[in-house]
Amino acid sequence: MIIVTTAGISPDALDRLIQHVEAAGLRAHVSRGEHRTIVGCIGDDGLLSEHGLTQLEGVECVMPVLKPYKLASREFSVGDTAIRLGDPADTVVGGREVVVMAGPCSVEGAGMMRDTALAVQRAGARLLRGGAFKPRSSPYAFQGMGEDGLKILADVRAETGMPVVTEVMDPRQVELVARYADVMQIGARNMQNFALLSEVGRVQRPVLLKRGLSGTITELLMAAEYIMAQGNADVMLCERGIRTYETATRNTMDVAAIPVLKRETHLPVIVDPSHAGGRAHLVTPLALAAVAAGADGLIVEVHPDPACAKSDGEQSLTFDVFAEMMRQVQAVARAVGRECAVGAAAGGWRREVTA
């Protein structure tokens, strides 16, 4: 259940309310807005008396939350969650700007990462993406550079000031990846790897959680709940296309998932048009559709020479094509009352909730 407080509840009254909830054996999740504060009750809310709660000072009303996901539900927050990245923290994922993350599928070397970072930064990308560990369908395909790749990402971040997003595949890698990354990505194949979700939930790094190939929206939100239940509230949800009977695209981008998620959750919604389309010429149209549908950001694969890429070259954009895509994204963002992030941000992060 959630407890909605009266406007201007005193700090002492709020403390007593939290103590009352925790004394009953539940965990209190507090979301503060400009005019109201919401206290979410995590656990068996049958242990709390609704009548008793309404008698407490500062309680306006008590409402049940019927959805299986609690912390991720919109009811548990007074406003949208925005995650701040950079030092100074001037990149906000989940705010007015549509934030673009761009870079190669895999880290292949220091020179190509530096060239790519500078090119996508000039075009308006805020974050640098690149895989140091790569989950591949074939055990013989390129698996990534591992920690050497992470070190390259960190070096490029130091030079360009771009926060880094990279994938973590195994609970045993979480501490290592967290040492280098600003955002830890959970790939589609690991959406329901509950041990991994719980582990990244214990680390205070923002998480980009990709929807599984056959995952429903509810299952995606429940996966986010696993992370948030461990104390990490900085979760971004990523629609990257789902597996259907269609073979004309690599996956089928579920555009409708974007407004559904924006209605169901307060978490930022990111779209990956590269994996959805699977072909470079499809990336820009899908990116524009995502922005028009309300996405808070995009994550796009860009490579200096896609024909020679070690992974996913067929869906990677060249520097020039990416720059043109950014110009079109900026136009669509303005048309729907948003802005497109321009310029670079430095490493570091913190979280903000806006009413």
**167 and 208, same structural domain?**
yes
**105 and 38, same structural domain?**
no
Q: Is the pLDDT of residue 85 over 60?
A: yes
How far is residue 190's CA from residue 192's CA, in Å, rounded to a whole number? 5
Question: pLDDT band at 348, cuts 50/70/90?
Answer: very low
**333 and 265, same structural domain?**
yes
Give pLDDT tens digits for 15-64. 999 999 999 888 898 988 877 899 988 887 777 877 688 889 999 999 88
Question: In the predicted model, what is the mean pLDDT of residues 283-299?
Answer: 98
**60 and 31, same structural domain?**
yes
Give pLDDT tens digits for 189-247. 999 999 999 999 999 899 999 999 999 999 999 999 999 999 999 999 999 999 999 99
User: What integer pLDDT is reported at residue 342 of this predicted model?
Assistant: 59
Q: Across the strands, what pairs with 97? A: 339
Give the DSSP letter string of 239-289.
E--B--S--SSSSB--TTHHHHHHHHBSS-EEE-HHHHH-SHHHHHHHHHH
Q: Is the pLDDT of residue 349 over 50?
A: no
**195 and 113, same structural domain?**
yes
Residue 72 lies in a domain: no
Question: pLDDT band at 303, cuts 50/70/90?
Answer: very high
**322 and 199, same structural domain?**
yes
CATH number of domain containing 44: 3.30.70.1140
Tokens, residue 229? 């239940």
Give pLDDT tens digits for 178-200. 999 999 999 999 999 999 999 99
User: Residue 161: left (phi > 0), alpha (psi -120 to 50), or beta?
Assistant: left
What total of structural domains would you count in the chain?
2
- For residue 299, give Cα distances in angstroms to 46, 115, 166, 181, 251: 42, 18, 11, 16, 15
Last residue of a domain, one of 64, 90, 116: 64
**133 and 252, same structural domain?**
yes
Q: Is the pLDDT of residue 345 over 50?
A: no
Residue 46 lies in a domain: yes
Residue 277 lies in a domain: yes
**48 and 143, same structural domain?**
no
CATH number of domain containing 341: 3.20.20.70
Q: Across the strands, what pairs with 300? A: 102
How far is residue 168's CA from residue 175's CA, in Å, rounded to a whole number? 10
Q: Is the pLDDT of residue 143 over 80?
A: no
Tokens, residue 273? 């048009």
Residues of the domain holding 17: 2-64
User: What integer pLDDT is reported at residue 347 of this predicted model?
Assistant: 40
Question: pLDDT band at 136, cuts 50/70/90?
Answer: low
Question: pLDDT band at 341, cuts 50/70/90?
Answer: low
**129 and 52, same structural domain?**
no
Residue 201 lies in a domain: yes
E-state strands within the chain = 2-5, 27-32, 37-42, 59-63, 81-85, 91-93, 97-103, 127-129, 164-167, 183-186, 207-210, 235-239, 269-271, 297-301, 339-340, 349-353
- Contact, 160 vs 344, CB < 8 A? yes
This prediction's pTM: 0.88
Tokens, residue 275? 């994996």
- For residue 310, give Cα distances in angstroms to 99, 134, 201, 314: 26, 11, 31, 10
Residue 76 lies in a domain: no
Give 111's contacts (C-beta < 8 A, 6+ positions apart): none
- Contact, 127 vs 268, CB < 8 A? no
